[in-house]
A and B are shown apart, each in its own frame.
Chain A
Amino acid sequence: MELLKGIFQYPFEEMANGPAFLLQVLWEGFVAGTLYSLLALGFVLIFKASGVFNFAQGIMVVFAALSLVGFHAAGLPAYVSLFLALAVMGALAWTVERVVLRKLVNQPDLILFMATIGLSYFLIGFGEFIFGGEPKSMITEELGLPTGSSVIDIFDDIVILQHLDIAAALIAAILVIGLALFFSKTRIGRALRAVADDHQAALSVGISLNQIWAIVWFAAGIVALATGIMWGARSDVSFALQIVALKALPVLILGGFTSVPGAIIGGLIVGFSEKLFEVYWGGLLGGGVEGWFAYVVALIFLLFRPQGLFGEKIIERV
């Protein structure tokens, strides 16, 4: 009986009795959701172009952030460092296309997936060789990102809004909308969709597969840099950041691997649901449920919509 009350009664009473705290939980869910969307977006871009789950996306986040703080530590101004970090991600995209992807055109997806695993381990070793394993501080203030917080007095309690979180949500939104428009309204975007459908057919109508792949990997690199800045500012810049990228998996299952809006909605669903569940129901299971709860939500969705909320339904006739 007490268990049933713990599930169906107490959490809702708690929400009703502490509306300001509920608002805080929802805000944190929203911020986490937008950051998860950003993580997922990097995967979606590459999956759309090549049908490959890019295992290296997590280490790309680390590599981009370490490049940024590395250039700054070498004495360069923050915005020059930012530009150079973007250049590094561009060079990485070009190299990946030249050295890895070009050789694997029209190979099974699994081969490409394995190639990204290899790339991931190469970048871990190369990154540790160049930057060392010690954690670094993100150059938050130098980049002009706001720090501090605003406090809203409401319902006899407070809601704290971190300025950095507000900036993170805004930057994530701008990036997501910008990339969505770029890939839906431009010639390159249409070429991207053609490549995603069929490599050979795209090649036959004159689309440069190599060029598209390099562009998409560069776009994923830009997203990785933005993700690295935001997550790095919340914690530190270290190789542990690559673990955060795993959070994109349930988001992708929810939203679909090929949908930019899906990444946004999926991220928000995961963000809101895991915060609410951890805070109001987590105690029933000893806490620390956030780590697996998103996967449970994704699993439930899988049962009803295997292609995700916005994924393309594939019907194959035999």
Chain B
Amino acid sequence: MFKKLIFGAVAVAMVSGAQVNNAYAEDTLYLPSLSYRTGPYAGGGVPIANGFSDYMTMLNERDGGIGGVKVVVEECETGYNSQKGVECYESTKSKNALVYNPMSTGITLQLVPKAPVDQIPVFSMGYGLSATAVGEKFPWGFNYPTTYWSQLSAILKYIDSKGGVKGKKIGYIYLDVGYGREPLPLLEKLSKSMGFSIARFPVAGKEMQNQSSHWLNVRKEKPDWMIMWGWGAMNSTAIKEAAKIRFPMDHFIGNWWAGADADLAPVGKIGKGYLAANFSGIGTDFPAIKDIFTHVLDAGKSTQTTDRDQVGDVLYNRAVANAVIVAEAIMAAQKSTGKKVINGADMRLGLETFNLSADRLKELGLEGFMAPIKASCKDHEGGGGIFVQQWNGSAWEKISEPISPETDVIRPLLEEAAAKYIADKPDWKTQTCS
């Protein structure tokens, strides 16, 4: 009798579990979030995870989801570790995952070859493998609104506008991992075409808080400008060390992962004048961000954002931009397929057809928040530009108009890199774009 009861209970549990799973897959839009709230890079990971999750929660609370379907964001902790990122991917892909936002170039590089196999697109917003911008070669990879290579080109264009780069020495300090090395081939090529010399300063992960040697070398090399591809504690340490050797802050420019509030808060006044690239709005003065306060934070619906001041920060807002693109792509996919609940293949289509125009941004309550993007089959980057922001000692200020990359120079290089990537992969599926 007892055995029968146990068997019965197990059977009921299994059947109801299966039903729950089916309901989970059929009635929701499932978005895995590869977050990192722990580990050495958590300072950047926390606001990114919060911004993404809060925007989706806001859509659920304000609009009832996307196209009437609730969005489920499930976080999986990667610790910014590629191996754990892949484990997260493998454990969530069968839940009808629509798209992966790896939040790490290392994880992106691991997922790019898996995307066509599992038919789930990878969207690395402004990071990852630059060559995925070439839609014909990478049907399942996207990096709107712009790539690392385009960003570097725009940064050099900014430097060029401040006295020219020809004949100058550009120092490049970078986290010595896949992310930091990504723009190196382009930097080498542009140095020849634009006529500047390079001094490289690689910073190993375990030395990121111990950079005095690197900055002694900077003092020795005397570069005219410094560009930084840093992340986490590397950024604040580098800026403090730069101030220590009296490097002019207005000639030190970080990429968009080296210009967060979390990077400059520990630096304070000594970082005044430091520059950084950015592509998403700063602050809370946008109706959609105010809706996050109203429908999520004030309503007690945010499970993780405990610090209200974080909303509007550089990284929080960038994650909102990421979420906006994902939401727009879902809507485009729903429209194209006529389905409310879509799958990864539909999402890929959405990522190639959404149109985030200036009017649409205004409609979303995000006027001026980011550059408009018109998705396409051919261009998975969107050709977006950057703007430059400057630290005034206590906050960031936008100091430039949008700077577009040298697309005519960058695009052939991206195509060359894409062709090289797939050259030794005979089974790699490409697509033809009209």
Contacts and interface: CB of A to CB of B under 8 A. Distances in A.
Interface of A: 21, 24-25, 28, 31-32, 124-125, 128, 132-138, 149, 160, 162, 231, 234-244, 246-247, 274-275, 278-279, 282-283, 286-288, 290-291
Contacts of B208: 240, 243
Given A243-B40, A287-B201, A235 B240 contact: yes
17 contacts: A28-B212, A31-B212, A132-B306, A137-B268, A149-B244, A234-B237, A235-B233, A237-B266, A239-B40, A240-B40, A240-B209, A240-B233, A241-B209, A275-B213, A279-B213, A279-B217, A287-B214
A279 B216 contact: yes
B246 interface: yes
Nearest to B207: A291
Interface in B193-234: 200-210, 212-214, 216-217, 219-220, 232-233
Interface string B225-261: 0000000110011001000111000000000000000
A247 B38 contact: no
Contacts, number: 131
Contacts of B37: 128, 133
Interface stretch (B42-50, B95-103, B349-357): B42-50
Interface in B1-55: 37-43, 45-47
Nearest to A162: B244
B176 interface: yes
Given A138-B266, A279-B213, A279-B220, A160 B244 contact: yes
B41 A240 contact: yes
Nearest to A128: B38
B422 interface: no
A246 B208 CA distance: 12
Residue from the set B216, B217, B237 with the largest chain A CB neighbour count within 10 Å: B216
Contact of A287 (B202, B206, B246): B202
B102 to A, nearest CB: 18
A238 B42 contact: yes
Contacts of B216: 21, 24-25, 28, 275, 278-279
* 4 shortest interchain CB distances as A-B pairs: A133-B42, A240-B40, A236-B266, A288-B202
B262 interface: yes
Interface residues of B, number: 43
B258 to A, nearest CB: 14
A163 B418 CA distance: 51
Contacts of B41: 240
B38 A239 contact: yes
Interface string B257-281: 0000010011010000000000000
Contacts of B240: 234-235
A238 B43 contact: yes
Interface in B292-328: 306-307
Nearest to B237: A235
A135 B43 contact: yes
Given A21-B219, A124-B38, A134 B207 contact: no
B183 to A, nearest CB: 16
A243 B211 CA distance: 13
Given A128-B38, A160-B245, A290-B207, A135 B236 contact: yes
B38 A286 contact: no
B268 A288 contact: no
A269 B219 CA distance: 23
Contacts of B265: 135, 137
Contacts of A24: 216, 219
Contacts of A235: 209, 233, 236-237, 240, 266
Contacts of B214: 278, 287-288, 290
Given A160-B245, A243-B40, A286-B200, A21 B220 contact: yes
A111 B306 CA distance: 39
Given A21-B219, A28-B213, A275-B216, A288 B204 contact: yes
A222 B240 CA distance: 26
B351 to A, nearest CB: 30
B213 A278 contact: yes
Given A133-B37, A240-B208, 10 more contacts: A24-B219, A28-B213, A32-B210, A134-B46, A160-B245, A235-B233, A236-B236, A236-B237, A282-B217, A283-B217
B42 A128 contact: yes
B157 to A, nearest CB: 27
Given A128-B42, A243-B40, A287-B200, A238 B233 contact: yes
A162 B240 CA distance: 11
A18 to B, nearest CB: 8
Contacts of B45: 133
Nearest to B262: A135
Contacts of A231: 209
Nearest to B310: A134
A244 B43 contact: no
A66 to B, nearest CB: 12
B348 to A, nearest CB: 33
A49 B278 CA distance: 52
B237 A288 contact: no
Nearest to A246: B206
A124 B79 CA distance: 12
Contacts of B207: 288, 290-291
Contacts of A149: 244
Nearest to A18: B220
Contacts of B43: 133-135, 236, 238, 240
Contacts of B266: 135-138, 235-237
A24 B286 CA distance: 49
A80 B68 CA distance: 54
A284 to B, nearest CB: 13
B233 A135 contact: yes
A244 B176 CA distance: 16
